[in-house]
Structure 1
Amino acid sequence: MLPVSRNRLDHDLPSGIEDAVRLGQQARGEVVSAIVTAQESMSAGSQHLSRTVVDLVTKAGKPLELPAAPPLPPPPSPKPPTSPEGRAPSYRFP
């Protein structure tokens, strides 16, 4: 068996470990990017919510102005009571 230098062994190692390291670094970069995107989105949502709350509180301090009510229809004219047959009852006096 021939003696092999340490440097020679390092170069002969399969690139699987190097590939795994690169893949891990790439995955970490994607995770960090997703976290930054989520933080930016939450910050934008929080700012939007704050503006909405300020608007609502400002509007709540003002009196509510309602439009004038529409005119009421005239009351119905009184009708004489009718019998079940649909005509006015006749009264008989003794």
Structure 2
Amino acid sequence: MTATAENPLQTGLRQKVLVLYLASSALDARTVGWSEYDGTGATHPTTGDGDEPPYATGLDALKDGWRLFQASQLNPPYPGHEYDTSFLKHEFFFEKLV
């Protein structure tokens, strides 16, 4: 491993994390919820601090340089529970090193 891979603090890189909840499991589905976290300390976003999502779709985030590193597992609903409401299940985690 290089010194950079072992200790990103030496390079000055910090991680920003973006969580998008999409209308379906497709990355080009519309964003219905989101959270942002800024490891650089330059901004202090909080959940619900805006009316418009940072990206209309997950694909738009990819096009802007965010790297997808996790998507939620797809689990079918139990029979008879297809219309229950619960958590937002199409969750995608993105990161950007700045």
> Normalization by structure 1: what TM-score?
0.17
Query: Hey, which of these two has a bigger chunk of helix by percent?
Result: 1
> Normalization by structure 2: what TM-score?
0.17
Q: 1 or 2 for the larger relative contact order (CA 8 Å, sep ≥6)? A: 2
